């Protein structure tokens, strides 16, 4: 058979690898969605959404580092029971895949490989998403320029620059370097705008090629990053799965032994370590479970397609009234009854009370 579909041998199937690779982006989409819904009720969460890339990169950094230290696999791979192994492949060109797996010499991951794995899994995707944002901005600016002309280029740019979060003061005060900096930033944006599509196409093309070759069993590496690091992803053996917990406790007791200082400081550090361990232990599965339960359990009632229909009784609104906490309109009787009982908006679940209800006398 040309390619392996069943789950035999140490080599994971294409579908396992693909699922493991997609997990972080699915998790990110689910987290962003959950935060978006939560932010409707708790506006301070918009701050996290403003720095979504950084927040998610930091989260992944913690998860991946922990996972590589304890299981020799990425966060997603360890959920699928896969492990990373350093390989030195001495393969004759004509050898069959069965021989190939015999000839692979397994050895533990070196520290360099673990660090670079984190770079490939967290830092590079983060940088790419930043480039993507700059590219989008540049494309918008080009579009605007083509629509409105280049006349107020400088003004537009100043606006963008302030919008980026840099201080207004430095932009407006007599900072002599500002025009140079603006010019430089603009040049960088232009360069990114010109190069990014090629970079993106190149990276997508290479990963597509690797995945196709992996599917056809022509290579043992699922991606260029794994090839560059000389790492094979394999199914964990039963022994490895059992060893994981003893390995974690070994690492932890070693860390506890390394604590220095007076007894109170040691106790404090020990307590902090215990907290960190508990959080890390539950972070992986807890995160996925929380997002799942949030999506299932915590949604408000859906909005009807017809705007004249009350979301609560699904009939034409009688005495339309707006709930000022969220801005949605219901029948007066329906929303009064709901808010007195549940103290929240039925759609966004934002906290509300009956003082937030306003009658509308000119309905649209
Ligand atoms: Zn109603």
Task: Return the closest-CA partner of residue 152 out of 163, 162, 141.
Answer: 141
Report CA(345)–ligand 1 centroid distance (Å): 13
Report CA(315)–ligand 1 centroid distance (Å): 6
Indicate the DSSP class of residue 311.
T
Is 68's pLDDT higher than 70? yes
Between CA 32 and CA 309 the distance in angstroms is: 30
Of the ranges 29-33, 67-71, 312-316, the best mean pLDDT one: 312-316
Residues 6 or more apart whose CB falls under 8 angstroms from that of 354 comprise 336, 339, 340
Between CA 297 and CA 290 the distance in angstroms is: 10
Report CA(331)–ligand 1 centroid distance (Å): 4
311-322: pLDDT as tens digits:
888 889 989 999
Report CA(353)–ligand 1 centroid distance (Å): 17
Task: Return the closest-CA partner of residue 19 out of 84, 77, 62, 71.
Answer: 77
Out of 3.40.50.360, 1.10.3720.10, 3.30.40.10, 3.40.640.10, which CATH number does the structure's domain 301-364 have? 3.30.40.10
Report CA(305)–ligand 1 centroid distance (Å): 15
Between CA 226 and CA 266 the distance in angstroms is: 40
Tell me the mean pLDDT in the region 14-28: 86
Report CA(354)–ligand 1 centroid distance (Å): 15
Is 206's pLDDT higher than 90? yes
Instruction: Give whole-number Cα distances, 235 to 83, 102, 191, 332, in Å.
Output: 6, 15, 43, 60
| Dihedral sign from CA coordinates of 131, 136, 137, 143 | positive
Between CA 38 and CA 47 the distance in angstroms is: 12
Task: Return the closest-CA partner of residue 57 out of 162, 6, 7, 130.
Answer: 130
Task: Retrieve residue 173's tokens.
Answer: 């005060």
Q: Following CA atoms 41, 46, 48, 52 in sequence, which dihedral angle do they give, to the nearest 10 degrees? A: 120
Report CA(341)–ligand 1 centroid distance (Å): 15
Residues 6 or more apart whose CB falls under 8 angstroms from that of 139 comprise 193
Residue 294: per-residue pLDDT: 63
Residue 165: per-residue pLDDT: 42
Is 202's pLDDT higher than 90? yes
Report CA(337)–ligand 1 centroid distance (Å): 10
Contact in structure between 324 and 353 (CB atoms under 8 Å): no
What residue spans in the chain does CATH classification 3.30.40.10 cover? Answer: 301-364
């Amino acid at each position: 058979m040309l390619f392996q579909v069943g789950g035999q041998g140490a080599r994971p199937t294409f579908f396992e690898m693909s699922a493991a690779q997609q997990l972080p982006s699915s998790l990110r989409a689910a987290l962003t969605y959950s935060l978006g819904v939560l932010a409707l009720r708790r506006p301070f969460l918009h701050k996290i959404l403003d720095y979504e890339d950084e927040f998610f990169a930091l989260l992944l950094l913690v998860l991946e580092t922990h996972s590589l230290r304890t299981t020799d696999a990425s966060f997603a791979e360890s959920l699928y029971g896969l492990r990373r192994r350093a390989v030195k492949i001495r393969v004759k060109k004509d050898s069959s895949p069965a021989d190939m797996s015999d000839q692979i010499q397994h050895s533990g991951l070196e520290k360099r490989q673990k660090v670079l794995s984190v770079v490939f899994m967290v830092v590079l995707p983060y940088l790419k998403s930043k480039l993507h944002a700059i590219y989008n901005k540049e494309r918008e600016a080009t579009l605007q320029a083509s629509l409105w002309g280049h006349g107020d280029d400088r003004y537009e740019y100043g606006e963008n620059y302030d919008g980026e979060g840099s201080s207004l003061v430095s932009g407006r005060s007599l900072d002599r370097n500002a025009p140079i900096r603006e010019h430089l930033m603009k040049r960088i944006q232009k360069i990114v705008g010109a190069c990014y599509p090629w970079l993106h196409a190149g990276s997508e093309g290479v990963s597509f090629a690797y995945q196709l070759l992996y599917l056809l069993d022509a290579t043992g590496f699922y991606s260029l990053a794994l090839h560059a690091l000389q790492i094979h992803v394999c199914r964990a053996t039963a022994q490895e799965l059992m060893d994981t917990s003893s390995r974690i406790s070994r690492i932890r007791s070693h860390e506890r032994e390394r604590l220095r200082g007076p007894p109170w400081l040691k106790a404090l550090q020990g307590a902090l370590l215990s907290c960190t361990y508990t959080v890390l232990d539950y972070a992986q599965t807890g995160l996925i479970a929380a997002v799942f339960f949030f999506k299932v359990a915590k949604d408000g009632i859906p909005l009807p397609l017809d705007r004249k229909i009350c979301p609560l009784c699904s009939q034409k609104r009688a005495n339309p009234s707006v709930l000022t906490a969220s801005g949605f309109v219901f029948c007066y009787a329906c929303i009064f009854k709901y808010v007195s009982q549940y103290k929240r908006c039925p759609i966004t679940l934002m906290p509300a009370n009956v003082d937030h209800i306003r009658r509308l006398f000119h309905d649209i």
